Amino acid sequence: MDAVRQGEWLPLMWATYRQDLIDAGESVEAADKNVEHHKKVLFEDGRPGAGQHVFDAFEGDKRVGVLWLSQQDGGKSAEWFVYDIVIEPEHRGKGYGRATMEAGENFAREHGGNSLALNVFGPNTVARRLYESMDYQLVAQSMKKSLA
């Protein structure tokens, strides 16, 4: 992803992530703190830090989505993480999510990765089904109940 495109994607990605945290039960203050922390740790001055890889996903010359992979420990680990995958709404349900994830797996493997992890918010059943169908295993589960 070039710098101009990244400048378009990054603010929307942070805003979406913040809203996902709030929708999952985080307070506004906690969500803001989380976003600010990740901005500082993963993006230095708005640019990907060490081990961060952001790609546009294409079908031919048509951009269909975005994938953000992170090689843990600042690019020194064999463990990789999917921080973001978004397929544009008009392209969903056509196999682009699976193809993008497979491309990400191949990229990580080609760069020394031996595992790829991700988090998915509970209400995102479509994404959970995709990951389960691709043999991603549940390793933790967090639950929350509002008492308000």
Q: What domains are there in the chain, each with its CATH number?
A: 3-133 (3.40.630.30)
Q: Which two tokens stand for residue 11?
A: 């603010």
Q: Taking a C-beta distance cutoff of 8 angstroms, is the pair 84, 97 a contact?
A: no
- For the stretch 53-105, pLDDT in tens is 999 999 999 999 999 999 988 777 899 999 999 999 999 999 999 999 999 99
Please say whether the dihedral angle defined by the alpha carbons of residues 104, 54, 18 and 73, taken in this order, is positive or negative.
Answer: positive
- The H or E element containing residue 33 is helix 28-42
Give pTM, 2 decimals. Answer: 0.87
